[in-house]
Amino acid sequence: MTALLLDRVTKDFGDKRAVDDLSFAVRDGEVFGFLGGNGAGKTTSLRMVLDIVRPTAGRIEILGGPPGREKSSELGFLPEERGLYRTMTALDTIAYFGRLKGMSKGDARREGRALLDRFGLGGSAHMKIEKLSKGMAQKVQLATAVVNHPRLLILDEPFSGLDPVNQGLLEDEIKRLSHQGSTIVFSTHVMQHAERLCDRLLLLADGRKVFEGTQDEARATLPARLSLVSRAPPAGLPGVIEAIEQGGEGDWREWEVRLVPGGDPGDLLQACTEQGFALRRFEQRRPSLHDVFIHLVGGEGAQA
């Protein structure tokens, strides 16, 4: 089943096209990374999904129907620009958001207490938000997004401004909700989080999709890279388009080797065996999502 579908969606703000003919689908139960640099159109796309702004053209389907307030009980949302009612207590804040999502008062408070305990804030339930540290307030904000056990959780740059401890907490919460069956869509320009969490991902640049698929499919867009230690230069081997010497000892030299697009390292290893090409090391270098981002989108806005 498809939890979220965008079909040829475009959004214009005057003469500025923020999202350009964007189509993608998020499957029920997957963790989907929505990746791109600053200004790529991520936030605008997610706001259209949440019916905060309307598309100029195209169709959006969310949990089997059009966006709208009637979906709120099944949704969770953590905005990039965060803010809480400073004079409310932590527990009252979480319970308030739970009530907005259709929960009963008792259920909202029980789930709020459970979340505060899990996030290490059980002793701060009755402290006002203005008295909490920034990190503590960030945990409360996260709790407001997940208090209703959302069927679809949307996180807009959720790791922005979080310290390493709270980044780990958020990653754990995403994994926990995913294991419980929630569909999770999060935007980010920090590739390391996507690398650890995503089942599939989309790369966005200037409002247009440049890639959609799995991490392995994304890495396959880059030429294979190998590290070899050999006596002879590997430049003449089948499929090798570049071999850069990296140093070595004695007669053995280390080479960074790049294959033709679509080249199979296994074919190269077989050729080495058949030709008697002496090897001391043959190691494939797995490209990171950061490498893929630079290759497909460019370096602006990408963080490793």
pTM of this structure: 0.83
Q: How far apart are CA 223 and CA 5, in angstroms?
A: 31
**pLDDT of the residue at 245:** 92
CATH number for 225-286 (one of 3.30.379, 3.30.70, 3.90.320, 3.90.350): it is 3.30.70
β-partners of residue 62 are 4, 65
Distance CA 100, CA 162 (A): 26
Residue 146, SS3 per DSSP: helix
Burial of 273 (0-12, 13-18, 19+ CB in 10 A): exposed
Residue 178's H or E segment, with its range, is: helix 164-179
Q: Comparing C-alpha atoms, which of 219, 220, 187, 216 is closest to residue 32? A: 187
Ranges of residues in the chain with a pLDDT under 50 are 304
Who contacts 90 (Cβ-Cβ below 8 Å, separation ≥6)?
A: 116, 121, 124, 125, 126, 127, 129, 132, 136, 140
- For residue 260, the model assigns a pLDDT of 85
Domain 2-219 CATH superfamily = P-loop containing nucleotide triphosphate hydrolases (3.40.50.300)
Read off the pLDDT of residues 134-182 as tens digits, 9 standing for 90 and up: 889 989 999 999 999 999 999 999 988 888 888 998 999 999 999 999 9
The domains of the chain are located at 2-219, 225-286
